[in-house]
Structure 1
Amino acid sequence: MRKEAYDIIGMHCAACSSSVERVTRKLPGVSRSEVNLTTGVLSIEYDESQTAPEDIVKKVEKAGFGCKPKEERGQAKPKEEIDEGALELQRTKRNLIGAIVTTVILLYASMGQMLPTPLPLPDILSMKTHPVNYAITQILLTIPVLWFGRSYMISGLKALWHRNPNMDSLVAIGSSCSFLYSLAMTYLISDVPHHVHHLYYESGAVVLTLIMVGKFLESRNVQKTKGAITRLMDLRPDVAILAESGTEVPTATLKAGDLILVKPGAKIAADGNVTKGESSVNEAMLTGESLPVEKAEGSSVIGGSINGDGVLYVSVTRVGEDSTLSKIIRFVEDAQGKKAPISRVADKVAGVFVPVVIVIAILAAAAWLIAGQDFPFALRVFTTVLVIACPCALGLATPTAIMVGTGLGASNGILIRSGEALEITHKTSAVVLDKTGTVTEGKPAVTEILPLGMEENALLALAAGVESVSQHPLASAIVEEAKHRELSAQDAPEKFENLSGRGLRAETAHGTILAGNRRLMEESGVDLTALEADAARLSALAQTPMYFAKNGTLLGLISVADQVKPSSAEAIAALKAQNIRTVLLTGDNRAAAEVIAAQVGVDEVVAEVLPEEKAGIIRRLQEEGQTVMMVGDGINDAPALAQADIGCAIGNGSDVAIESAQVILMRGDLKDVARAIRLSRLTIRNIKQNLFWAFCYNTVGIPIAAGALYLSHGLLLTPMLAGAAMSLSSISVVGNALRLGRRKLL
Structure 2
Amino acid sequence: MSTTTTPTMAPETPGAPTAPRSQSAFSAEQLIAAIPGAFRKLDPRQMWRNPVMFIVEVGAAFTTVLAIAEPFLGGPESSGGSSVPASFTWGIAVWLWLTVLFANLAESVAEGRGKAQADSLRKTRTSTTAHAVTGYSPDGDPAATTTPTREVSSADLQLGDVVAVTAGDLIPGDGDIIWGIASVDESAITGESAPVVRESGGDRSAVTGGTRVLSDRIVVKITSKPGETFVDRMIGLVEGASRQKTPNEIALNILLASLTIIFVIVTLTLNPIASYSAATVSLPVLVALLVCLIPTTIGALLSAIGIAGMDRLVQHNVLAMSGRAVEAAGDVTTLLLDKTGTITYGNRRASEFVTLEGVPAAELIRTAALSSLADPTPEGKSVVDLAGVEGIHVGEFAPGDIVPFTAQTRMSGLDQPDGTQIRKGAGSAVIAWIEQDGRVASSVLADLDEQVERIANSGGTPLVVAVKTATGEGRLLGVVHLKDIVKEGLKERFAEMRAMGIRTVMITGDNPLTAKAIAAEAGVDDFLAEATPEDKLALIRREQQGGNLVAMTGDGTNDAPALAQADVGVAMNTGTSAAKEAGNMVDLDSDPSKLIDIVRIGKQLLITRGALTTFSIANDIAKYFAIIPAMFMGVFPGLAVLNIMGLHSPSSAVLSAIIFNAIVIVVLIPLALRGVKYRPLSASKILGRNLLVYGVGGVIAPFIGIKLIDLIVGLLPGF
> TM-score if structure 1 supplies the norm length?
0.49
Match of 2:41 among 147, 152, 156: 152
Question: What amino acid does structure 1 have at the position aligned with 2:38?
Answer: G
- SS of the equivalent of 1:348 reads helix
Q: Deviations over 1:364-419 (max 9, x none)?
A: 899999x9999x95356435644664712665699999999x99xxxxx9x9x999
Q: Answer whether contact 1:426 1:684 (CA < 8 A) is retained.
A: no
Contact 1:647 1:662 in 2 (8 A): no
- Superposed CA deviations along residues 399-457 of structure 1, whole A, max 9, x for unmatched, are 999999x99xxxxx9x9x99999987886654544433554454422234234675435
Equivalent residue for 2:251?
345
Note if 1:477 corresponds to 2:382. Answer: yes
CA 164–396 in structure 1, closer or farther in 2 if over 3 Å, else same: closer
- 1:618 is aligned, of 540, 547, 566, to 540
Q: Give the distance between the partners of 2:245 and 2:590, measured in 1 at CA.
A: 20
Q: Distance in 2 between matches of 1:546 and 1:83?
A: 48
Tell whether 2:349 aligns with 1:445.
Answer: yes
Per the TM alignment, residue 625 of structure 1 is displaced from its structure 2 partner at its CA by 0.8
Cα 1:567/1:389, change in 2 over 3 Å: closer
Partner of 2:615: 690
Q: Contact conserved, 1:445 with 1:560, CA < 8 A, in 2?
A: yes
Q: For 1:226 and 1:99, how far apart are their aligned partners in 2?
A: 14
CA pair 351-210 structure 1, distance change in 2 beyond 3 A: closer
CA shift for structure 1 position 98: 0.8
Aligned residue identity for 2:39: R
Give distance in 2, aligned partners of 1:385 and 1:431.
45
Matching residue of 1:391: 296
| Equivalent-residue separation in structure 1 for 2:41 and 2:595 (angstroms) | 26
Equivalent pair of 1:467/1:476 in contact (CA under 8 Å):
yes
- Are 1:426 and 1:681, in contact at CA under 8 Å, matched by a contact in 2? yes
Kindly tell me: are residues 443 and 173 of structure 1, through their superposed partners in 2, closer, same or farther at Cα, counting changes over 3 Å? farther
3-state secondary structure, aligned to 2:397: coil
1:501 and 1:583, CA in 2 relative to 1: closer, same or farther beyond 3 A? same
Q: Could you say which residue in structure 1 is the equivalent of 2:597?
A: 664
Give the aligned partner of residue 54 of structure 2.
169
Q: Kindly provide the CA deviation profile for residues 221-266 of structure 1, in whole angstroms up to 9, marking residues without a partner as x.
A: 79999999xx9xxxxxx9999367466799999989x9x9xxxxxx
Using a 3 Å threshold, how does the CA distance of structure 1 residues 245 and 158 change in structure 2: closer, same or farther? same
Structure of greater relative contact order (alpha carbons < 8 Å, 6+ residues apart): 2
| Distance change >3 Å, CA 384–CA 684, structure 1 → 2 | closer
- Checking the alignment, whether the CA contact within 8 Å between 1:185 and 1:198 is kept in structure 2 is no
Aligned-partner Cα distance in 1 for 2:96–2:504: 50
Tell me, what secondary structure is at the counterpart of 2:597?
strand
Distance across 2 between alignment mates of 1:227 and 1:540 = 52
Matched, 1:97 2:1: no
Cα deviation code 1:708-730 (max 9, x no counterpart)? 88876798556632324526977
Following superposition, the deviation at residue 591 of structure 1 comes to 4.6
Q: What do the CA deviations read for 1:565-617 (whole angstroms, capped 9, x no partner)?
A: 68767876787788765533335454532443466676643234467974663
Give the direction of change, closer, same or farther, for the CA distance of 1:727–1:556 in structure 2 (3 Å limit).
Answer: same
- Measured in 2, the distance between the counterparts of 1:660 and 1:365 equals 61
User: Quick one: which of 427, 431, 436 aligns to 2:340?
Assistant: 436
Give the distance between the partners of 1:548 and 1:227, measured in 2 at CA: 55
Contact 1:389 1:702 in 2 (8 A): no
Map 1:395-414 to 2 at 5 A: 395=300
Paired AA for residue 251 in structure 2: V
Q: CA deviation at 1:472?
A: 1.7
Residue 726, structure 1, aligned to residue 661, structure 2: yes
Change beyond 3 A, Cα 1:84–1:206: farther
Counterpart secondary structure, 2:349 = strand
**Contact between 2:456 and 2:513, CA under 8 Å: does it hold in 1?**
no
Residue 105 of structure 2 corresponds to 212
In the TM superposition, residue 624 of structure 1 has moved relative to its aligned partner by: 1.8
Counterpart Cα distance in 2 of 1:222 and 1:607: 44
Maintained 8 Å contact 1:384/1:717: no
CA-atom RMSD in angstroms? 7.5
SS at match of 2:42: helix
For residues 480 and 393 of structure 2, the distance between their equivalents in structure 1, rounded to whole angstroms, comes to 17
Judge conservation of contact 2:42–2:104 (CA < 8 Å) in 1: no
The residue number in structure 2 matching 1:544 is 461
Q: How does 1:580-729 map to 2 (within 5 A)?
A: 581-597=503-519, 604-609=526-531, 614=536, 617-628=539-550, 655-656=588-589, 663-664=596-597, 689-697=614-622, 717=651, 720-726=655-661
2:340 is paired with a residue whose SS is: helix
Identity %: 20
Residue deviations 1:67-99 (CA, integer Å, cap 9, x gap) = xxxxxxxxxxxxxxx999999x99x99984316
Counterpart residue number, 2:168? none
* Contact 2:292–2:661 (8 Å) recurs in 1: yes
1: distance between equivalents of 2:680 and 2:18?
A: 42
Tell me, in whole angstroms, the C-alpha distance in 2 between the residues paired with 1:536 and 1:247. 56
CA distance in 1, matches of 2:533, 2:454: 30
Q: Does the CA contact (< 8 Å) of 2:499 and 2:680 recur in 1?
A: no
1:271–1:301 CA contact under 8 A, matched in 2: no
- The DSSP-based 3-state class of the residue aligned with 2:354 is strand
Question: One-letter code of the match for 1:721?
Answer: S
Instruction: For 2:158 and 2:382, locate their aligned partners in 1 and report how far apart those are by CA, in whole Å.
Output: 40
SS in structure 1 at match of 2:548: coil
For 1:242, the equivalent position in structure 2 comes to 141
1:304 to 178, 194, 205: 205
Equivalence for 2:645: none
Give, in whole Å, the separation in 2 of the partners of 1:85 and 1:158. 33
Aligned mates of 2:463, 2:404 — CA distance in 1: 14
- The one-letter amino acid paired with 1:447 is S
Amino acid at match of 2:462: P
Change (3 A) 1:182 1:84: farther
Q: Judge conservation of contact 1:433–1:584 (CA < 8 Å) in 2.
A: yes
Separation (CA, whole Å) in 2 of partners of 1:345 and 1:84: 37
**CA shift in 2, pair 1:578/1:209, >3 Å:** closer
Q: What's the CA shift string for 1:88-124, capped at 9, x where partnerless?
A: x99x999843167xxxxxxxxxxxxxxxxxxxxxxxx
CA displacement 1:477-531 (0-9 Å, x = unmatched): 3244345445434462468768475576657787787665449967995559666
**Which structure shows the higher helix fraction?**
1
CA offset digits 1:153-180 (Å, max 9, x no partner): 23xx1046xx655455356556767888
Shift of 1:544: 2.9
CA contact (8 A) 2:402 2:413 kept: yes
Larger radius of gyration: 2
Counterpart Cα distance in 2 of 1:227 and 1:475: 43
- In structure 2, C-alpha distance between the alignment counterparts of 1:199 and 1:735, rounded to whole Å: 26
Q: Identify the residue that residue 361 of structure 2 maps to in structure 1.
A: 456
Relative to structure 1, the CA distance from residue 242 to residue 378 in structure 2 (aligned partners, 3 Å threshold; closer, same or farther) is same
Amino acid at match of 1:481: L
Q: Do the aligned partners of 1:185 and 1:199 also contact (CA within 8 Å) in 2?
A: no
Instruction: Decide whether the 8 Å contact of 1:428 with 1:627 is kept in 2.
Output: yes
Aligned residues: 542
